[in-house]
Chains A and B, each alone.
Chain A
Amino acid sequence: MSVPTDHLLALAAILFALGVLGFLVRKNVIIVLASIELMLNAANLSFLAASRHWSQSTLAGQGDPSAGPIFAIFVILVAAAEAAVGLALVIALYRLKQSVALDRVAELKG
């Protein structure tokens, strides 16, 4: 009794939307980074769901069933690297601004 693919995709979409919302709305840089993680994981979920869907369906034999999980591993890699860089930036930012509130950072203001 596996979970239907639609449900998984819906969940992924909801997670992604939550991530986007969090990214756009939240003031705290760390929460923004977490939202980015959330978006990435939502993408992961949809990859895995799709992979399982294709390996279960009658189209088995077409394409590489391991494509989904492999892609998910790539995403996890990217997420990790990006989290590392992001957190380093947060530390530098804190040193500069003594705050992690994103709306106080307007150095790129034109």
Chain B
Amino acid sequence: MSTMLWLLLFAPLAGSIVCGALHFAALRAARDGHAPGHAGSAARKLAGVIGCATVAASFGLALAAWGALQAPGILAVESSTWHWIEAGSFTVDVSLVADRLSSVMLLVVTGVGFLIHVYSLGYMAHDPGKAKFFAYLNLFVFAMLALVLSSSLLGLFIGWEGVGLCSYLLIGFWYEKGWPAEAAQKAFVVNRVGDACFLVGSFLLLRLFGTLDLSEIAGANFHMLGAHSGEIALAALLLFGGACGKSAQFPLFTWLPDAMAGPTPVSALIHAATMVTAGVYLVLRLNPLFAAVPAVLFTIGIVGAFTALIGASTALRQNDIKKVLAYSTVSQLGYMFLGLSAGAWSAALFHLVTHAFFKGLLFLGSGSVIHGMHDEQDMRKMGGLRRAMPRTFMTFVAGAAALSGLPLLSGFFSKDEILARNFALGGFHLGLWAVGLATAALTAFYTWRMVALTFFGEERFDRHHVRPHESPAVMIVPLVVLALLSIGGGLLNLPHVLPGSGLLEHWLAPVTRAGDELLEREGEHGHLSAAAEWSLLALGAVLALVFARRGLRAYEPGPARDEALARARPKLAEFLDGAWQIDRSYHERIVLPLRAAAARLSAAFDLGAIDAAVDGAGRLASALAQRSRALADGQVKHYALWMGMGAASLSLLWVLS
């Protein structure tokens, strides 16, 4: 069992190293031959196969781990311990733990990850850096697995920063274009701000609990720690701050839309299905910590709802298909946090899983479109593609239907669960529910706007120069699999009013019990009658259908409506275009002043004041020397005078003493 977990973790790392070596081999082959030679393309092909194989192996092992947990009484599978740091009173031991929560994450990461690896075989087929791509992708899977499997907060942090590193490397994959490198840097730095909060939160946890072991913290007796509730709340909020960075919540979401500069499989894997869910996972893992002080969860709810609204409203105005999906991801992540804030742990995880399915599908589908349109990403230059790319179209529609929450698809159930639980709590959570509902409407609208602009209506491109074609099977098959999962994924956690309900909820119960108990004590637990649940389901279905149809109808003829809005309400349009101008205000109020301050500090203060003092000391010595030089004028008379005076004063002193 233990070795199985270590193998699970390290297979992708091994794959990464091998693919990296293959990349350098391909580079050498390209250098020695004048055309991408035989050896080079063989190396690249091999890298693709190895990259997929390792993730497949990890998926198999993840299934085995899940299978091991089916046995009654087995709640977790643990590996041997790695004694990482031993510093006197402070020790960090890390082992790999597959429990009910991490097993779900493992399956999502390795399963969806595998599909995306296979897809990349086709998408990156002609890219000279293909081997490097798979090296980075495998490294990412390794880091994400480390994050999910780690038993210690610090071990989790290795994975946490590791996925940030891979995100940096992959966003900037096509760095020669220039702007991807800037986007990568921005992603890393914004994430680092979140990481700084994470670190300080970890110090507080260390002070409170004396350990960074996740199960020990989660298992602590929060009832007895009432006097420290302020510190607990602060630690929880700081960790949530870190989660905001990783999961692109307000105020740290500005890196995600820029991250679209990376290849589309990267957007699918990292920025939809896995890395951005790390924040949600963190909160789930430490759910008692977050549930201990009600204000914390409420803050999370406000942030989540607000972010969801920002994301959805901005997605309405985007013309780049990937940017729509990026802002949509920001928005949907907000939903997950909204679910967490209502104590709906399993609902949030459920939405995480379904989102991985349908958002991953949508990103891959958009990649298929971009691939077929020869790297065109602007929807205004698309249109009518359903005829040229039927299979992409159908799978894309499945994903869109799930995202917009059309009834009976996976997204419908997961989104509804979150909203229902918020509604059930009442009080302030009703406000959050309302925002969530409005955002759901917007979601349906922008999703089908995207579908309409891309696949319906007239072709807004020149048929002679652009010939869209369907993608190869290696790209279509993952799309189909994800489409099936998007459609049927709702079965994982049906609402209580339906038979076979709550599979995920029951599965997750041992992990969330502590948090649930704390919430019950605080009175934060609502209950919905069957009637209320049915009405909410119906409301959600109707809303989704109505706004989906509106979006489709409004944009079938083309993007004219957008231009009309821009003319009628230019300020509003600009506001929404730039994600409520948050990024710009960061640039103007933080980035530029910081750079200016650094420049001024360096020039005026450091060189001008401190160093000038040092040089000044030197100049002073020099000046004094120059003055003293005047005494040595070569005139014997003066020398004699000084000598005489000196002798006289010495003898005077002698006489006096």
B residues 598-657 touching A (CB-CB < 8 Å): 629, 631-637, 639-641, 644
Q: Are B639 and A23 in contact (CB under 8 A)?
A: no
B residues 212-237 touching A (CB-CB < 8 Å): none
Kindly supply a per-residue 1/0 record for chain A positions 80-110, scoring 1 wherever the CB is within 8 Å of any chain B CB and 0 otherwise.
Answer: 0000000000000000000000110111111
Min CB–CB distance A22 → chain B (angstroms): 11
Query: In terms of DSSP, what is the predominant structure of the interface of chain B?
Result: helix
Min CB–CB distance B169 → chain A (angstroms): 66
Q: Are B636 and A105 in contact (CB under 8 A)?
A: yes
Q: Are A110 and B637 in contact (CB under 8 A)?
A: no
Cα–Cα distance between A107 and B641 once the two chains are bound (Å):
17
Q: Are A24 and B634 in contact (CB under 8 A)?
A: no
Residues of A within 8 A of B635 (CB): 102-103, 106
Residues of A within 8 A of B637 (CB): 23-25, 102-103
Q: Are A107 and B634 in contact (CB under 8 A)?
A: yes
Cα–Cα distance between A107 and B634 once the two chains are bound (Å):
6
A residues 23-44 touching B (CB-CB < 8 Å): 23-25
B residues 106-142 touching A (CB-CB < 8 Å): none
Residues of B within 8 A of A110 (CB): 629, 631-634
A20 at interface, CB cutoff 8 A: yes
Min CB–CB distance B270 → chain A (angstroms): 74
Residues of B within 8 A of A20 (CB): 644
Cα–Cα distance between A97 and B635 once the two chains are bound (Å):
15
Q: Are A24 and B640 in contact (CB under 8 A)?
A: yes
Q: Are B641 and A106 in contact (CB under 8 A)?
A: no
Cα–Cα distance between A103 and B633 once the two chains are bound (Å):
10
Cα–Cα distance between A51 and B644 once the two chains are bound (Å):
27
Cα–Cα distance between A103 and B307 once the two chains are bound (Å):
90
Residues of A within 8 A of B636 (CB): 102, 105, 108
Q: Contacts A24-B637, A102-B637: A109 and B644 contacting too (C-beta < 8 A)?
A: no
Closest to A26 in B: B637
Min CB–CB distance A100 → chain B (angstroms): 13
Residues of B within 8 A of A105 (CB): 634, 636
Q: Are B640 and A109 in contact (CB under 8 A)?
A: no
Cα–Cα distance between A24 and B641 once the two chains are bound (Å):
7
Cα–Cα distance between A23 and B644 once the two chains are bound (Å):
11
Closest to B633 in A: A109
Cα–Cα distance between A110 and B629 once the two chains are bound (Å):
6
Residues of B within 8 A of A109 (CB): 632-634
Q: Are B634 and A108 in contact (CB under 8 A)?
A: yes
Residues of A within 8 A of B644 (CB): 20
Cα–Cα distance between A105 and B395 once the two chains are bound (Å):
105
Cα–Cα distance between A20 and B634 once the two chains are bound (Å):
19
Closest to B641 in A: A24
Q: Are B640 and A106 in contact (CB under 8 A)?
A: no
Min CB–CB distance B627 → chain A (angstroms): 12
Cα–Cα distance between A24 and B637 once the two chains are bound (Å):
5
Min CB–CB distance A103 → chain B (angstroms): 6
Min CB–CB distance B560 → chain A (angstroms): 90
Q: Are A23 and B633 in contact (CB under 8 A)?
A: no
Cα–Cα distance between A105 and B635 once the two chains are bound (Å):
7
Cα–Cα distance between A110 and B635 once the two chains are bound (Å):
10
Closest to A23 in B: B640
Out of A24, A25, A102, A106, name the residue touching B633 (CB < 8 Å). A106
Residues of B within 8 A of A25 (CB): 637
Cα–Cα distance between A102 and B633 once the two chains are bound (Å):
13
Closest to B639 in A: A108
Closest to B631 in A: A110
Cα–Cα distance between A24 and B639 once the two chains are bound (Å):
10
Residues of A within 8 A of B634 (CB): 105-110
Cα–Cα distance between A20 and B648 once the two chains are bound (Å):
13
Closest to A27 in B: B637
Min CB–CB distance B641 → chain A (angstroms): 6
Min CB–CB distance B490 → chain A (angstroms): 97
Cα–Cα distance between A39 and B635 once the two chains are bound (Å):
20
Cα–Cα distance between A53 and B616 once the two chains are bound (Å):
64
Residues of B within 8 A of A24 (CB): 637, 640-641
A residues 1-35 touching B (CB-CB < 8 Å): 20, 23-25
Cα–Cα distance between A23 and B635 once the two chains are bound (Å):
12
Cα–Cα distance between A66 and B637 once the two chains are bound (Å):
36
Cα–Cα distance between A25 and B641 once the two chains are bound (Å):
10
Residues of A within 8 A of B632 (CB): 108-110
Residues of B within 8 A of A107 (CB): 634
Q: Which residues of A contact B (CB under 8 A)?
A: 20, 23-25, 102-103, 105-110
Known: A106-B633, A108-B636. 11 other contacts (CB 8 A): A23-B637, A23-B640, A24-B641, A102-B636, A102-B637, A103-B635, A108-B632, A108-B639, A109-B632, A110-B631, A110-B633
10 closest Cβ contacts across the A-B interface?
A106-B634, A109-B634, A110-B632, A108-B634, A24-B637, A109-B633, A110-B629, A24-B641, A107-B634, A106-B635
Q: Which residues of B contact A (CB under 8 A)?
A: 629, 631-637, 639-641, 644
8 A-B pairs (CB sep. < 8 Å) = A24-B641, A102-B635, A102-B637, A103-B637, A106-B633, A106-B634, A108-B634, A110-B632
